């Protein structure tokens, strides 16, 4: 079936393409970071090239891509990083490199054309900024923004309301920790991923309805049924 075909494509990449990529990376002293969403054919080639050039090729989520780029610059003598992903990923990789003392390392995009992301762009709309302005009035508020957004979104949001970034793996702990530190009156504004937001509402509602204090404390020591 289709899964078997995809698996074979990944496990048996085009040998010539792998060699060409290895030669290019060695000649240019470069590394590559790619997002998990890349197609299976490309991931197969990248994985095979990475096996021959340990530490020079990475496939990961958007946050880990930046960490991998730092490692390539610091420990593998890479003088440039190619980023295979949408535009905000290239921005994020460059920012993380700069924060870690490698701002001189160029981050190369796959094309000169814009590589957009509808999720990230939804937080760049005027309606999103108006929502932040309206919801931040009065009650203490904290904006928790999904990492898969542009640097502009994060900066503009911070200018409106205190803003921190989360990933899909740490969003729940981020919300619970923020609430524990800042008190039960804190209003948390989450965006722009509607599906993740709906999942959080469902999860927290289920916990509130079904879990006891001991179970909730196992999730976060500062919380109970009264605070969740």
Q: What is the pLDDT of residue 1?
A: 82
- The reply to whether 61 and 97 lie within a common domain is yes
Q: Is residue 225 part of a domain?
A: no
CA distance linking residue 127 with residue 106, whole number of Å = 34
Buried b (16+ CB within 10 A) or exposed e, 211-227: beeeebeeebeebeeee
Number of domains in the chain: 2
- The reply to whether 99 and 149 lie within a common domain is no
Q: What angle (nearest 5°) sits at the alpha carbon of residue 27, between those of residues 33 and 94?
A: 30
Q: Which of 109, 129, 153 is the last residue of a domain?
A: 109
Q: Is residue 226 part of a domain?
A: no
H-assigned helices in the chain: 2-11, 15-28, 40-52, 62-75, 87-99, 118-122, 126-135, 151-160, 171-182, 194-210, 213-219
- The reply to whether 59 and 102 lie within a common domain is yes
- CATH number at 85 reads 3.40.50.10800
- The reply to whether 73 and 128 lie within a common domain is no
- Look up the pTM and report it: 0.81
Q: Is residue 114 part of a domain?
A: no
Q: Give the structural domain span for 213.
A: 119-219
- The reply to whether 46 and 85 lie within a common domain is yes
Q: Which of 48, 79, 109 is the last residue of a domain?
A: 109
Q: pLDDT by residue (tens digit) across 96-124?
A: 999 999 999 999 998 999 999 999 999 99
- The reply to whether 212 and 136 lie within a common domain is yes
User: Which DSSP state fits 59?
Assistant: E
- The reply to whether 28 and 88 lie within a common domain is yes
Question: Which DSSP string do the residues of 192-210 spell out, in sequence order?
Answer: S-HHHHHHHHHHHHHHHHH
- The reply to whether 12 and 101 lie within a common domain is yes
CA distance linking residue 165 with residue 149, whole number of Å = 9
Q: Is residue 31 part of a domain?
A: yes
- The reply to whether 54 and 98 lie within a common domain is yes
Angle between helices 151-160 and 126-135 (to 10 degrees): 30
Q: What is the pLDDT of residue 19?
A: 98
- The reply to whether 140 and 188 lie within a common domain is yes
Q: Which of 44, 75, 109 is the last residue of a domain?
A: 109
Low-confidence ranges of the chain (pLDDT < 70): none
- The reply to whether 92 and 164 lie within a common domain is no
Q: Is residue 74 part of a domain?
A: yes
- The reply to whether 12 and 43 lie within a common domain is yes
Q: What is the pLDDT of residue 219?
A: 93
């Amino acid at each position: 079936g289709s899964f078997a075909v995809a698996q074979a494509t990944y496990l048996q990449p085009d040998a010539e393409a792998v060699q060409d990529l290895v030669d290019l990376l060695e000649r240019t002293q470069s590394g590559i970071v790619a997002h998990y969403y890349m197609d299976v054919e490309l991931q197969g080639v990248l994985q095979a090239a990475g096996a021959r050039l340990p530490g020079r090729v990475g496939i990961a989520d958007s946050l880990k891509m930046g960490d991998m780029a730092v490692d390539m610059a610091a420990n593998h003598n890479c003088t440039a990083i190619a980023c295979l992903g949408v535009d905000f990923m290239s921005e994020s990789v460059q920012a993380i490199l700069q924060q870690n003392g490698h701002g001189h390392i160029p981050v190369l995009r796959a094309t000169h054309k814009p590589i957009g992301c509808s999720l990230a762009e939804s937080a760049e709309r005027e309606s999103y900024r108006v929502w932040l302005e309206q919801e931040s009035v009065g009650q203490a508020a904290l904006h928790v923004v999904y990492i898969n957004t542009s640097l502009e979104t994060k900066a503009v949001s911070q200018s409106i309301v205190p803003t921190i970034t989360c990933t899909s793996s740490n969003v729940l702990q981020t919300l619970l920790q923020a609430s524990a530190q800042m008190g039960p009156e804190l209003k948390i504004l989450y965006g722009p991923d509607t599906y993740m937001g709906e999942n959080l509402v469902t999860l927290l509602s289920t916990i509130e309805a079904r879990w006891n204090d001991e179970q909730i404390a196992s999730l976060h020591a500062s919380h109970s049924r009264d605070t969740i």
